[in-house]
A and B are shown apart, each in its own frame.
Chain A
Amino acid sequence: MMSLLEIAKAMDVTSLSTSLKSITWLVPLVQSVHILMVGVVFVSILMISLRVLGRVRMDEPLSRTWRRFAPSLWGGVAVMVVSGVLLVFSEPVRELMTLSFRLKMVLLVICVVSAVVFGRRMRGAASVTAVELPLSAAMRAAAVVTLVLWIAIIFLGRAIAYDDSVWGSWSPAILQRGGSL
């Protein structure tokens, strides 16, 4: 079986990777699109969470807030993932060989799965018009946890560039350079 480092090195020599690297302005542009899409996704999640917590959009039912922000959430996730994949291909070793990137991917999967589950519940609710779901303490707690996870995702995303400063000897980037900071 290939190690993650071998996979990264194989990605590094793909034509996608070499073309991304050959156009100088492309990487900062894709990074910018990625950051803006993180903004779209994060604020969509923020609005839904704040509605669950009763802080915004109390003039409309939760299912309606969900319907307003679900398209920007999923559209944002799609562009975010595509631009993210391009960024990984532009520097596969630098991305994959960091603890920050790996943790970020784990948290991202948890957040996306939980949004899918939440969306299913909302679709069920939308069919019963005018019936508002009771917002349980568990749901409010889930809203807070979701926000904390997304903030962690954003911090980890930026920490990829500083992996060894942030994680010290836990960073795989250090091992790769022979164990020196």
Chain B
Amino acid sequence: MNTPPSFIHAMETSAIGEWMRSNLLAMPLVNAAHVLCITLVFGTILVVDMRLLGLFDRSRSVMKTSDEMLHLTWGAFIGAAVTGVMFFTANATTYWFNTAFRFKMLVIVLAGVNMAIFQFITYRSVVNWDRNSPSPRAAKVAAALSILIWFSVVVLGRLIGFTKGYDVEVPASIDFDFGTP
């Protein structure tokens, strides 16, 4: 295996990494908190996406629906990131070289790009379609992409567990290691 960058090594040998590996309850609790935060991120974003797609809350204000979710989504995202980093420190080198992990990080960046394009371009005209009129096509595309992206994030997250084998036993027949070093 290649040598990871020095900060990866520093994370792995840090006190948090050591605590994550040695405390019997650390892994299950941090893991469960991570999943809880992810269900919140996905669920709250879905409420806004459904409004943009016009499938639910059609007559309700887009701005109000979105503002209500904002704190919950960001709070949950920060929670997911913090618990995710704690996870990462426990086995930083392995995660660093895991292809599913790298794809997951890439797709989260894509989620950010999709959100930024929506927020800074499409959303500027929101007063025109806030209530009682269908969202513009760009908003619907952003909503559909957002659902697809977050679905992929969860699938890739699950694949990390299967390729690494730290939280589930990988049967010998399974090879999810897409040619990682």
Residues in A whose Cβ lies below 8 Å from that of B47: 43, 47
**In the assembled complex, how far is the CB of residue B63 from the closest CB belonging to chain A, in whole angstroms?**
12
Stretch in A108-116, A122-130, A132-140, A159-167 with 4+ CB within 8 Å of B:
A159-167
Across-interface contacts of A59 in B (CB, < 8 A): 64
- Tell me whether B154 and A154 are in contact (CB under 8 A): no
Asked if B44 is at the interface of the complex by the 8 Å CB criterion, the answer is yes
**Residue contact B155 to A32, C-beta cutoff 8 Å:** yes
Contact at B155–A165, with CB atoms within 8 Å?
no
Does any Cβ of A come within 8 Å of B162's Cβ? yes
Question: Which of the listed residues B43, B68, B174 has the most CB atoms from chain A within 10 Å of its own CB?
Answer: B43
Partner among B38, B46, B162 whose Cβ is within 8 Å of the Cβ of A28 = B162
B24 — which chain A residues lie within 8 A by C-beta?
165
- Given A21-B171, A28-B162, A161-B167, decide whether A36 and B32 contact each other with a Cβ distance below 8 A: no
A24 at the interface (CB under 8 A from B): yes
Q: B155 — which chain A residues lie within 8 A by C-beta?
A: 28-29, 32
Check: A92 CB closer than 8 A to any chain B CB. no
Tell whether, in the assembled complex, residue B154 and residue A68 are in contact, meaning their CB atoms are under 8 Å apart. Answer: no
Q: State in angstroms the CA–CA spacing of A60 and B59 once bound together.
A: 11
**A158 within 8 Å of B (CB atoms):** yes
A39, A158, A159: which contacts B42 (Cβ < 8 A)? A39
* Structural contact, A39 and B32, CB atoms closer than 8 A: no
Q: For residue A157, which residues in chain B have a CB less than 8 angstroms away from its CB?
A: 32, 35
Report whether B35 and A43 are in contact in the complex, using a CB–CB cutoff of 8 Å: no
Closest chain A CB from B12 CB (angstroms): 21
Does A38 have its Cβ within 8 Å of any Cβ on chain B? yes
A32-B155, A161-B167, A161-B168 known; A39 and B28 CB under 8 Å? no
User: By the criterion CB–CB under 8 Å, are B158 and A158 in contact?
Assistant: no
Interface pair A39/B40, CB less than 8 Å apart: yes
B27 — which chain A residues lie within 8 A by C-beta? 162, 165
B32–A35 CB distance below 8 A: no
Within 8 A of A (CB), among B1-55: 24-25, 27-29, 31-32, 35-36, 38-44, 46-47, 50
Q: Which residues in A have their C-beta under 8 angstroms from that of B72?
A: 46
Flag if A68 contacts B25 (CB, 8 Å): no
| B28, B40, B162, B168: the one within 8 Å of A43 (CB) | B40
* Chain B residue with Cβ nearest A72: B56
- Check if A35 sits within 8 Å of B38, measured CB to CB: yes
Alpha-carbon distance between A68 and B158 when the two chains are bound, in angstroms: 30
In the complex, the chain A residue whose C-beta lies closest to that of B28 is A162
A56 closest partner in B (C-beta): B68
- A24-B174, A161-B167 provided; 13 other pairs, C-beta below 8 A? A28-B155, A28-B158, A28-B161, A29-B158, A32-B151, A39-B39, A42-B43, A43-B40, A43-B46, A46-B43, A154-B39, A159-B32, A166-B25
20 A-B pairs (CB sep. < 8 Å): A21-B171, A24-B173, A28-B159, A28-B161, A28-B176, A31-B158, A32-B151, A35-B35, A40-B43, A40-B46, A42-B39, A43-B40, A46-B40, A68-B57, A71-B56, A72-B56, A155-B36, A157-B35, A158-B32, A165-B24
